[in-house]
Amino acid sequence: MINTSRKMHILQFICSTGFYGAERWILALCNNTQDPNVTYSLAVTDEVASKNLEIAAHFRRDCGDVFELPMAHKFDYKAVSALANYITTNKIDAVHTHGYKSDVLGVLAAKKAGVPVLVTPHGFENAKDIKLRLFIWLGCQAMKFADHVVPLSPQLVEDCKQYSIKEPQLVYIQNGVDLSEVEKFKNKPVASSKTKRRIGFIGQMISRKNILDLLDVFDELHKTMENIELVLLGDGDSRASLEQHTQTLASKDDIHFLGYRDDRLDYLKSFDLFVMTSTLEGIPRCLMEACAMETPVAAYDIAGIDQLITHEHTGLLAPLGDKAALLLAWEKILQDKDYASQLGKNACDYVNEHYSAKRMADEYVALFNEVLDNKEVSL
């Protein structure tokens, strides 16, 4: 029988390179855990690629203690001992990891400290870079040694099975998102000024986001619909090359790379259309927020996105890589405001009904309890 009254101290661990979906997901989990017996702390690596560790500031303010783990270089093995010492000293009961490098370091540290470890994959990267592919492979190998692997979407469950991770080690908890922040913005006037219809993207600028397709579709649409602009919020390894490509496009003056923004929700509210051209996703938080904001969506039809967007009901979808079909979807939404508004309302209703962060947090607490019960039985 699960001990639902146990006090537990859970360490969330991430190697952060910004403030994106995984970071916000951790905050959503911790902020929506209502069991007073659960305490969370955060460990986050402090390395050259870190972007001011913004998640650390948010976590300290809203959730609990933060340990900034020094990293001498991208994969500093000494960090394992430092993290294990933190786990032991602070009487951490279980570790919960997020991301390839976090999975490797976190699993090793948890095993060294003798505590259970859970891994949550947020998405698999179809990277071309050989070093990143090595990180991915190592992360997937590390998952095999976790007590549980808990993917965010049915497709990620299937992806994990390809690495020989199966039930009962493999547990599915449907993703959730804290939409209270979005709700606060919905009734506020738009602060970001605009003079044109605004097509927008929010997210990391990495290979699997396939932003080149997004730029090309916008450039084609711009030929017949000049009163539009494309606003891209976010940063990442691909940003420089994407900006370079933009300079070759006729529509370049109406394409704006704004980088990471604290006021992303204000911009999201200003979008007439939210777009994605990803080739691989979990269930994107940015897409959930767009749905909750009632911003109409057009995207490629891939696993993960199809968990939120049903074609012609909660948004419009085009086959992966079919830029002509995606262009038609953009045109439909921008030209028919009533239709676009209905899509946005349907999407908002769907997300609020099926993707509650409180429900997700309750299920994770139950799983933490189960893992700790199993540990006690095995002692």
- For residue 263, the enclosing domain spans 180-354
Q: What is the CATH number of the domain that holds 340?
A: 3.40.50.2000
Q: What is the mean pLDDT of residues 78-96?
A: 97
Quick one: residue 114, left, alpha or beta (phi over 0 = left, psi -120 to 50 = alpha)? left
For 33, the token pair is 């855990």
Please give the Cα distance from 209 to 204 (Å, whole number).
7
Question: What pTM, to 2 d.p., does this model score?
Answer: 0.73
Among the listed residues 309, 289, 307, 288, the one whose alpha carbon sits nearest the alpha carbon of residue 298? 309
- One domain, residues 362 and 330: no
Q: What is the sign of the dihedral through the CA atoms of 342, 344, 347 and 351?
A: negative
- Helix crossing, 337-354 with 323-335: angle to 10°? 100
The pLDDT of residue 282 is 83
Domain assignment present for 1: no
- One domain, residues 85 and 105: yes
Task: Please say if the pLDDT value at position 106 is more than 80.
Answer: yes
Domain assignment present for 105: yes
Domain assignment present for 2: no
- One domain, residues 170 and 224: no
- One domain, residues 246 and 273: yes
Q: What is the pLDDT of residues 30-46, one digit of tens each?
A: 999 999 999 999 999 98
- One domain, residues 160 and 257: no
Among the listed residues 121, 106, 118, 117, the one whose alpha carbon sits nearest the alpha carbon of residue 152? 121
- One domain, residues 19 and 150: yes
Please give the Cα distance from 83 to 113 (Å, whole number).
9
Q: What is the pLDDT of residues 166-175, one digit of tens each?
A: 999 999 999 8
Please give the Cα distance from 72 to 74 (Å, whole number).
7
Q: What is the pLDDT of residues 246-258, one digit of tens each?
A: 999 999 999 999 9
Amino acid at 222: H
CB 299 within 8 A of CB 323: no
Q: What is the pLDDT of residues 334-346, one digit of tens each?
A: 999 999 999 999 9
Average pLDDT, the chain: 92
Among the listed residues 350, 291, 14, 355, the one whose alpha carbon sits nearest the alpha carbon of residue 153? 355
Please give the Cα distance from 255 to 228 (Å, whole number).
9
- One domain, residues 203 and 146: no
Domain assignment present for 193: yes
Q: How many domains does the chain have?
A: 2
- One domain, residues 340 and 374: no
CB 44 within 8 A of CB 14: yes
- One domain, residues 197 and 337: yes
